[in-house]
């Protein structure tokens, strides 16, 4: 989960067998209830459509949170940049600049999460140093 600038707010790495909607629910339910209860709108791509929208709306303390799905139009041919969807892709591009994240070298999921956080900290510190 990233903010509108592309900086990581939260991270959840799951097995490949876990669907996007299920992983998204785990991440959103933990982050919205603990740290980011002030959020009003969350954008997600089409992989998160379905029951996740209702699940987010039903979070008891934060019923004002709205999950909006940014879908690609069926009429579009070829590549087009979709509003708000490119933010996460740009963050992936920033992270891949770090050699350790190009491939999955880690044996433990917590190590992978840590390396992603270290890469984001490095990026944020470089921006602050300018």
Tell me whether residue 8 is in a domain: no
pLDDT of residue 63: 60
Residue 4 within a domain: no
Tokens in use for 8? Answer: 């990581």
pLDDT in tens, the chain (130 residues): 999 999 999 999 888 899 888 999 999 888 887 788 788 888 988 888 888 888 888 877 656 788 888 877 777 777 777 777 788 889 999 999 998 888 877 788 888 899 999 999 999 999 999 8
**Quick one: pLDDT at residue 15?**
85
Alpha-carbon gap, residue 24 to 52, rounded angstroms: 8
Task: Show the CA angle centred on residue 126, arms to residues 123 and 130, nearest 5°.
Answer: 145
- Provide the H-helix boundaries in 4-108: 20-34, 51-57, 86-96, 99-102
pLDDT of residue 105: 79
Give the total number of structural domains in the chain: 1
Task: Specify the pTM.
Answer: 0.79
- Give the pLDDT of residue 114: 93
10 contacts 27 by C-beta, under 8 angstroms:
yes
Query: β-strands 66-70, 41-45: how paired?
Result: parallel
What is the per-residue pLDDT for 45?
85
> Within a domain: residue 84?
yes
Residue 7 lies in a domain: no
The reply to whether 9 falls in a domain is no
DSSP code at position 70: E
- Domain holding 119, by residue range, is 20-129
């Amino acid at each position: 989960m990233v903010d509108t600038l592309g900086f990581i707010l939260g991270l959840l790495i799951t097995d490949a067998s876990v669907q996007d909607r299920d992983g998204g629910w785990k991440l959103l339910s933990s982050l919205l209830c603990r740290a980011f209860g002030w959020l009003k709108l969350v954008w997600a791509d089409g992989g998160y459509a379905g029951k996740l929208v209702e699940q987010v709306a039903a979070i008891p303390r934060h019923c004002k949170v709205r999950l909006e799905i940014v879908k690609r139009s069926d009429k579009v041919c070829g590549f087009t940049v979709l509003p708000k969807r490119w933010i996460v892709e740009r963050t992936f591009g920033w992270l891949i600049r770090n050699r350790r994240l190009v491939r999955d070298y880690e044996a433990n999921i917590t190590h992978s999460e840590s390396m992603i956080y270290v890469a984001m900290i490095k990026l944020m510190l470089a921006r602050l140093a300018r």
